[in-house]
Amino acid sequence: MLTPQIADKGVTKHILRAFDLHASRRLGQNFLISPGVVRAVVEAAEIENGDRVLEIGPGIGTLTQGLLEAGAEVTAVELDKKLPAVLAETLRGYEHLKVVQGDILKTDIPALMGDQPFKVAANLPYYITTPILLSLLEQSLPITHIVTMVQKEVAERMTARPGGKDYGALSVAVQYHTEPEIVLDVPPSCFFPAPEVDSAVIACTVRQTPAVAVQDEKLFFRVVKASFGQRRKTLSNALKPLGFSKAQIEDALLGAGIDSTRRGETLSLEEFAAIANKLMN
């Protein structure tokens, strides 16, 4: 090990003091201080020597250090303008690290990572977890795994099955593109400063082909969005804003073998796909 382990409360406080930094609430800065959790993320990402990893929000380099120690080649995108200079010090001596200052939502990821497979690892800023995940999934990037810390409640939504209150558009998008699994529950005490919510590490293995076959992916996600947009409405009413006639919607539901009085939150991915595919005919 080249520098002390950053995943430690004393070391983290020392680094923040030395650089005159204050964890920014606005940027979702809750730094990991648990070496066990860093290890769990690295293990869930199945990091092997030479793996290319995109890290989102490296902060002061806590998870980055674990990834580098495991042999990853890390490209880290950090929004906070003060942190690249800090990372140059905290991770001094580590090879295979590239830090890019910028907003991950505005970053040209294909230009940054190229067309070879890579993994994503992160302790995501909680204020934009969902937009970041959806953007990664929707861009058809050559990502094999996404392993990230999220709010526990978000992890539960990502893995939810049809029928419950947690099941929604995020569950469908994540499960359409990946196989998600909650690998660890993480209490607030594993961060400095401690967040107000419980967290979880979730590992999403990206599917080679989506979970269900759809003729028009855009229409599939419009159907999903409309179905969950009006949760209390029956399907035939919820799908009205899509712009199809009442008869077309009724025909599609009938053709898909789905009772039009059901609610969107009871539908499986296969059933959403069947409705979208029937609407194409």
The residues that touch ligand SAM, with contacts defined as CB under 6 A, are 27-32, 56-59, 62-63, 77-80, 103-105, 123, 125, 128
Count CB atoms within 10 A of the CB of residue 199: 26
E-only strand ranges, 11-140: 31-32, 52-56, 73-78, 97-101, 118-123
First-last CA distance in the chain: 61
Q: What does each C-alpha distance from 220 to 44, 215, 278 come to in angstroms? A: 30, 8, 11
CB of 117 to ligand SAM, least distance (A): 22
Cβ-based nearer residue to ligand SAM, 18 or 105: 105
Q: In what order do the strands lie in the sheet with 97-101?
A: 97-101, 73-78, 52-56, 118-123, 143-151, 199-206, 178-186
Cβ-based nearer residue to ligand SAM, 37 or 273: 37
Cβ-based nearer residue to ligand SAM, 51 or 78: 78
CB of 10 to ligand SAM, least distance (A): 15
Nearest residue to the partner ligand SAM, using Cβ:
57
By DSSP bridging, strand 143-151 and strand 118-123 are parallel
Q: Which of 13, 5, 10 is nearest to 37 (CA)?
A: 5
CB of 188 to ligand SAM, least distance (A): 12
Torsion angle, alpha carbons of 201, 207, 212, 216, to 10: 110
CB of 190 to ligand SAM, least distance (A): 10
CB of 41 to ligand SAM, least distance (A): 9
Angle at 129 between CA 79 and CA 183, to 5 degrees: 115
Cβ-based nearer residue to ligand SAM, 104 or 214: 104
> Cα Rg for the chain, rounded, in angstroms?
21
Cβ-based nearer residue to ligand SAM, 28 or 168: 28
DSSP code, position 158: H
CB of 132 to ligand SAM, least distance (A): 7
CB of 221 to ligand SAM, least distance (A): 23
Cβ-based nearer residue to ligand SAM, 127 or 161: 127
Cβ-based nearer residue to ligand SAM, 6 or 273: 6
Alpha helices, DSSP H, located in 45-121: 62-69, 83-90, 109-113
